[in-house]
């Protein structure tokens, strides 16, 4: 089965062609994976501007789809089915991909399936490494999400924990902005952290001593994990701590985190120490909670996907922890960990091979429960 997939949930216009292989261990083959990034457009504004993002998707989508077909050396007639990100994401962005994919499906008379964006991130791991030893615990960590899923069997995903406030990538981007490092902040902090002392700045580790405060949403899997919040994350307190420390050091911090600014009187080594210390706290919190969940749920492997899984310390620390605990840690290559359409094709194929399709009147959904 040959699938053409489209992903436009945020600021990347992406299309890919993926086929089934018939090999149970490595079920899919990626024939093309094309991404038009809008990062240069949004950088000027210090973050993604939704209206600009949807307009740019409209400009880019035809070319991106043509290129994906061309790279795969196939035509629209060869495509057996379409897959498209239905949500969650920016609704204006999602709408461009959904309307385009539905129109193609209607014109070609081919089936279409709407895909949950995070199912795509989870399946990017399988696209890269083949089937994960199950049950698996997967951390999806990006600019929009920090969520832990249990994958009890192929194509089933159960939410077991998630951030109560900011996503990890969002925290990276906000702290980078406070330090005057530009957008997106993750790669800049990752690079500078390598030159800093990760114990130089005393930043708090998130703790959940008040279980009733801001409790997790009801769609979480109940049971011991839900009751103890051992699989929840929180990053907004860390960001506030960075603001306070910068103020103490005489750096004028913009309130509202909207104005890109210069780190002022801080020297470069000081900024590097901030980056290293911030990164240590974020990565320790991600790794600890992921492995605690893996332990509690008796997982046979750990997966990490999403834009923040590009982080060098997260990759290294998770691999080391997995080695110590005898658990395989599976992370896709960077081009598959950030938003792409090949992962949407893979998650779509999970449904399509079971005969699941979406009716042509399905709609884009900014928030979508999996």
C-beta of 242 vs 342, nearer to Zn ion: 342
- Judged by CB under 6 A, which stretch of 150-158, 224-232, 238-246, 305-313 contacts ligand KG4? 305-313
Residue 347 contacts residue 120 (beta carbons within 8 Å): yes
Site for ligand KG4 contains 142 (CB under 6 A): yes
Full DSSP string of 305-326: ESGGGG-HHHHHHHHHHHHHHT
Binding residue (CB under 6 A) for ligand KG4 from 28, 149, 172, 235 = 172
- Please check whether residue 9 is in contact with residue 339, taking contact to mean a CB–CB distance below 8 angstroms: yes
Concatenated DSSP letters for 270-294? HHHHHHHHHHHHHHHHHHHHHHHHH
C-alpha distances (whole Å) from 12 to each of 9, 224, 346 are: 7, 38, 18
Shortest CB 144 distance to Zn ion, Å: 6
At its nearest, how many Å lie between Zn ion and the CB of residue 232?
Answer: 20
Residue 10 in contact with residue 173, Cβ under 8 Å?
A: no
Residues 332-351 contacting Zn ion, CB under 5 A: 339
Could you tell me which of 139, 152, 163, 130 has the C-alpha nearest to residue 302? 139
The three-class DSSP label of residue 82 is strand
By CB under 6 A, residue 169 contacts ligand KG4: yes
Span from 55-63, 78-86, 165-173, 321-329 in contact with ligand KG4 (CB under 6 A): 165-173
**Which of 119, 246 has the CB closer to Zn ion?**
119
The correct pick among 19, 32, 311, 358 for binding ligand KG4 (CB under 6 A) is 311
Does 173 help bind Zn ion (rule: CB under 5 A)? no
Cβ-based nearer residue to ligand KG4, 194 or 244: 194
For residue 183, the minimal CB distance to ligand KG4 (Å) is 8
Contact residue for ligand KG4 among 206, 307, 322, 332 (CB under 6 A): 307
Query: Residue 78 has which token pair?
Result: 């060869």
Q: How far is the CB of 117 from Zn ion (least distance, A)?
A: 6
For position 85 contacting ligand KG4 by CB under 6 A, the verdict is no
Q: Which residue has the tokens 């620390």?
A: 317
Q: Which pair of structure tokens corresponds to residue 285? A: 């919190």
């Amino acid at each position: 089965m040959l699938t053409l997939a489209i992903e436009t949930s945020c600021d990347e216009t992406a299309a890919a062609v993926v086929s089934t292989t018939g090999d149970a261990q490595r079920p899919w083959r990626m024939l093309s994976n094309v991404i038009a990034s809008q990062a240069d457009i949004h950088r000027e504004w210090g973050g993604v501007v939704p209206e600009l993002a949807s307009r740019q998707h409209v400009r880019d989508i035809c070319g991106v789809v043509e290129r994906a077909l061309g790279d795969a050396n196939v035509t629209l007639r060869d495509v057996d089915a379409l897959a498209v990100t239905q949500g969650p994401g920016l609704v204006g962005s999602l709408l461009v991909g959904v309307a385009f994919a539905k129109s193609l499906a209607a014109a070609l008379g081919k089936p279409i399936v709407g895909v949950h964006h995070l199912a795509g991130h989870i399946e990017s791991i399988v696209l890269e490494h083949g089937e994960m030893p199950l049950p698996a615990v997967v951390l999806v960590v990006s600019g929009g999400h920090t969520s832990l899923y249990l994958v009890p069997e192929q194509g089933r995903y159960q939410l077991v924990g998630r951030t109560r406030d900011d996503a990890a990538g969002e925290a990276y981007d906000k702290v980078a902005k406070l330090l005057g490092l530009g957008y997106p902040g993750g790669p800049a902090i990752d690079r500078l952290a390598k030159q800093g002392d990760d114990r130089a700045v005393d930043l708090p580790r998130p703790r959940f001593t008040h279980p009733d405060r801001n409790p997790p949403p009801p769609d979480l899997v109940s049971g011991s994990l839900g009751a103890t919040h051992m699989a929840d994350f929180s990053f907004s307190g860390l960001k506030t701590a960075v603001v306070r420390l910068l103020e103490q050091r005489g750096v004028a911090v913009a309130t509202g985190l909207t104005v890109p600014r210069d780190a002022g009187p801080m020297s470069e080594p000081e900024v590097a120490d901030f980056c290293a210390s911030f990164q240590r706290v974020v990565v320790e919190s991600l790794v600890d909670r992921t492995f605690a969940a893996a332990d509690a749920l008796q997982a046979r492997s750990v997966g990490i996907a999403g834009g923040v899984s590009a982080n060098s310390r997260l990759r290294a620390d998770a691999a080391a922890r997995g080695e110590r605990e005898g658990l395989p840690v599976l992370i896709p290559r960077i081009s598959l960990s950030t938003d792409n359409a090949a992962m949407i094709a893979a998650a779509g194929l999970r449904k399509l091979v079971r005969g699941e399709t979406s009716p042509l009147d399905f709609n884009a959904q900014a928030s979508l429960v999996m």
